[in-house]
Amino acid sequence: MAAPRLFRPTARLFSSRLASTALRSNIRQSACAPSILRRGYATETGTKEVTVRDALNEALAEELEREKKCYIIGEEVAQYNGAYKVTRGLLDRFGPKRVIDTPITEAGFCGIAVGSALAGLHPVCEFMTFNFAMQAIDQIINSGARTHYMSGGIQPCNITFRGPNGFAAGVAAQHSQDFSGWYGSIPGLKVVSPWSSEDAKGLLKAAIRDPNPVVVLENELLYGQHFPMSEAAQKNDFVIPIGKAKIERPGKDLTIVCISRCVGLSLDAAAELKEKYGVDAEVINLRSIKPLDVETIIASLKKTGRILAVESGYPMYGLSSEILAQCMEYGFDYLTAPAVRVTGAEVPTPYAAGLEAMAFPQVDTIVGQAVKLLRL
């Protein structure tokens, strides 16, 4: 319970300033420090340690470089380098026509981005957080997701919506919501949610290249986290196919299906299950929410016979409800125990650090549910 309190970043309500980090407790460095300075050296195998923030930044830079129609728009993305520094350096490199600061009006700049996509550009529309994208939901869904179909397939809408979503730290009910289920339920949208640096880079690049509107749900707590990045992933043609899950850890006793930050938690939980109970859990990183890689899930279920879905959204009508439903529809005969889910709690996110931690899946909640499921 101590960890979240120490980690609690000074509630970056609307922005996080880099320069001010020096004044704060050094515990927070991982969340905010200029990660580019801490980038690791290449190892013999060519793998490099890269933060999610830098991976996203690299993806944006490469795609801006590759496609002249691509541009970035959002609040504080240019001059300020992005509220979470994801767009660092892009204004200097690509100029104010490709990296555009806007007045504070989500409905406005999102509408402008959608409009430019309908006219043939490839905008990347950044929301400071997806909590604020609620102001622009009409543009995303009624226009972004619908116009291509309703125009008889004439009008393109190659747009990418991106920004942090879900878990945050110390910012209470209006800044810590997970909208995976919301966007996942909309025909006409593709939705991805990266965990590692490779995910972040490959999925964002795929999203920008994809001719459809794609929602990229990132997570602010992951931005400062380092992940190894293979040599292939460091290249500028690295793309991860949308709709394909990745087995992060193979196993035979239990399938854990998870996404975004929950992947890290599930891997830790799997390690604990192995250590304490000798259970081999298979961890599937979904990567895409829509389309959902049902095939990989069912293949794993056939092997293990047991399934546990882990996500940070609200329990009702959410991503894990969908996963469980799909398992009943396509894999019921392989289930040897009722499918189980671990989700965020059905409450507005509390401010108190201890309660906040309990409002989202943690390693021990995942282990606890797995143990119950396996009747250990």
Catalytic residues: 106, 175
- If one counts every other C-beta atom within 10 angstroms of the C-beta of residue 22, the result is 9
- Say how far residue 98 (Cα) sits from the centre of its chain: 24
- If one counts every other C-beta atom within 10 angstroms of the C-beta of residue 123, the result is 26
DSSP character for 175? S
The enclosing H or E element of 124 equals strand 122-126
In whole angstroms, give the CA distance from residue 62 to residue 76.
20
Can you tell me which of 33, 61, 107, 247 binds other proteins, judged by CB under 8 A? 107
Q: Does 104 bind other proteins (CB under 8 A)?
A: yes
Site for other proteins in 78-97 (CB under 8 A): 79-80
* Smallest separation (angstroms) from other proteins to the CB of 58: 23
Q: Does 105 bind other proteins (CB under 8 A)?
A: yes
Can you tell me which of 49, 67, 101, 268 binds other proteins, judged by CB under 8 A? 101
Can you tell me which of 43, 65, 149, 174 binds other proteins, judged by CB under 8 A? 174
Of the pair 285, 369, the CB lying nearest other proteins is at 369
Residue span 127-166 as binding mask against other proteins, x where in contact by CB under 8 A, dash where not: ----xx-xx-------------------------------
DSSP character for 103? -
* Smallest separation (angstroms) from other proteins to the CB of 149: 26
Site for other proteins in 301-360 (CB under 8 A): 346-348, 350-352, 355
Q: Does 25 bind other proteins (CB under 8 A)?
A: yes
Which two tokens mark 219? 């997570």
DSSP character for 65? H
Q: Does 19 bind other proteins (CB under 8 A)?
A: yes
Interior/surface letters 324-351, b for 16+ CB within 10 angstroms, e for the rest: bebbeeebeebeeeebbbbbbbeeebbe
Q: Does 278 bind other proteins (CB under 8 A)?
A: no
> Are 121 and 71 a contacting pair, CB within 8 Å?
yes
Which two tokens mark 223? 């931005």
Of the pair 81, 296, the CB lying nearest other proteins is at 81
Q: Does 76 bind other proteins (CB under 8 A)?
A: yes
Q: Does 24 bind other proteins (CB under 8 A)?
A: yes
Residue whose pair of structure tokens reads 């394909």 in the numeric block? 244
In the complex, the residues that contact other proteins under the rule CB under 8 A are 8, 10-20, 23-25, 75-76, 79-80, 101, 103-108, 131-132, 134-135, 170-175, 346-348, 350-352, 355
